[in-house]
Amino acid sequence: MRLKGPGKLGWVILGIAGLLILEGAAPSPQNGSEIPAISERINAFTFDLLKHNAAGEKTAGNVILSAQSIFHGLAMSYVASGGATRKELASVLHFPDDDAQLIKYLSNLRRELMPAEKDKKLEVRMANAAWLDSTCFNFREEYVDEIEKGFGAALRSAIFEKHEKEVSADINKWVSENTRDRIQRVTSPGDLGAKPNGDFPVLVTVNAVYFKADWASKFDNGGTAKRPFHVDSAKTEDTLMMHQKSLLRYSEDEQLKFLEIPYIGGSYSMYIVLPKETLTVRQMMDLVTVDRITKLAQGTWEYSVDVLLPKFEMKSHVGVKDEISKMGVKSAFDRSSADFDKMIVKVNPLSRVYISEIYHDAWINVHEEGTEAAAATTTVHFGCSASAQPRLQLFHVDHPFLFLIVHNGSRSILFAGWISRPSELALGGR
């Protein structure tokens, strides 16, 4: 598909929406199994982003994010990048240098994440779409092919100028349909209007992820009750906690306890990492690394585990542009030096496309039947002319903890976050 236009100056908005809905359980990955290269990259970026959030001046008490969504979304920009822009994106997000390899890996991962057959207790979707304004730039045919074929994106023509409301509504409708209404808005007309400096949108891309599953071993509805949660060594909050006693995979090391709670069908699990002592979020994140969590996951054995887990619901908004800028991505946001030239046919040497903003919104609801979660990432580009015998283990999550939602086959993290102040959360529920 080739989209042509008179080559006006413009700006580009890319939006990525991710949704995860879980209600169930699955067995852990095989001990010692090799982690695919693409999952290693996504998981490394996940922990880098978590650690950077934890190390900020004001660490959020509770966080939920999907680095998976951000990775897929920014990959559609990365394959059009060059120079310092490309080097910085590759360094921070752990992208490989080979674009064809990246596209192939992500295509295979999307297929692997989605079950072959529909099941009322397990539903997984991942979809891409792109809105291109052919009145603004001549998009390179090679780039359009990569978006359409490599990323499997549904392409839609759009005229952003003076049609902001219509295009915004169409984008939000697509996101809502592909996330079962869990994410209803990733863009507004104001995002798509011309800016005072003359820049205006030419491209919007969206990645949507949806997951829903039942726990394999559900929590006892009658067992949910208020119990103390130790925010720190001096402060305790009464928190609704769910209870179950089940055969689950558990491990520990000198400082951390690890539990896998599987979802139905065996494809997905929730990992819970609980420090043995009550630590702050920053102290906890100083302890955890990808390698350490991998070792704990691979070292699990099946035990009879008495579990207490907070029932919670929360939303999180992360300014990803600020975060990854501090992590080392600079030129991608610079109007004068960003290099995304492989997106367009340049009509003059000073024309540029740059990232204006990246937003990431996420939501999660953990309850007795399972988990439901959603995330949306919006990236704004501007263009300028310029087995032992089971024994009982207590796993009472009564102080700050880290949680991960993982696809067992690929070992890829879909969602991750922490809870340290449950009083700031809405009560979980269906």
For domain 13-214+313-384, give its CATH number from 3.30.360.10, 3.30.497.10, 2.40.128.130, 3.60.140.10.
3.30.497.10
In contact, 17 and 207? CB cutoff 8 Å? yes
Q: Where are the domains of the chain?
A: 13-214+313-384, 221-312+388-424
pLDDT, average across residues 91-116? 93
Query: How far apart (Å, rounded) are the C-alpha atoms in residues 192 and 213?
Result: 36
- Any residues with CB less than 8 A from the CB of 118 and at least 6 apart, and which? none
What token pair was written down for 46?
Answer: 């996940």
Encode pLDDT of 326-360 as tens digits: 999 999 988 889 898 999 887 677 677 777 777 77
pLDDT over 50 at 366, yes or no: yes
Average pLDDT in the chain: 83
Closest C-alpha to 308, from 426, 398, 236, 430: 398
* CATH-assigned architecture of domain 221-312+388-424: Roll (2.30)
In contact, 167 and 175? CB cutoff 8 Å? no
SS3 336: coil
Domain 13-214+313-384 and domain 221-312+388-424, same fold? Reply is: no
Query: How far apart (Å, rounded) are the C-alpha atoms in residues 45 and 48?
Result: 5
Quickly state the pLDDT bin for 117 (edges 50, 70, 90): low
Quickly state the pLDDT bin for 375 (edges 50, 70, 90): low
Query: How far apart (Å, rounded) are the C-alpha atoms in residues 212 and 268?
Result: 10
Residue 428 pLDDT? 41
Encode pLDDT of 177-219 as tens digits: 887 887 788 788 888 877 777 777 777 777 777 777 788 988 9
Residue 160 pLDDT? 83
- Top pLDDT among 15 and 147 is at 147
Measure CA of the first residue to CA of the last residue in the chain; give whole Å.
Answer: 43
Percent of the chain at pLDDT > 70 equals: 84
In contact, 236 and 421? CB cutoff 8 Å? no
Strand order in the sheet with 13-24: 153-157, 122-132, 203-214, 13-24, 371-384, 352-366, 312-319
**pTM exceeds 0.85 for this model:** yes
Q: Is beta strand 301-310 parallel, antiparallel or unpaired with respect to 412-419?
A: unpaired
pLDDT, average across residues 216-242? 93
What is the DSSP-derived secondary structure letter of residue 148? Answer: I
Quickly state the pLDDT bin for 18 (edges 50, 70, 90): very low
What token pair was written down for 348?
Answer: 């003059």
Query: How far apart (Å, rounded) are the C-alpha atoms in residues 186 and 128?
Result: 14
Residue for token pair 């340049």: 346
Residue 351 pLDDT? 72
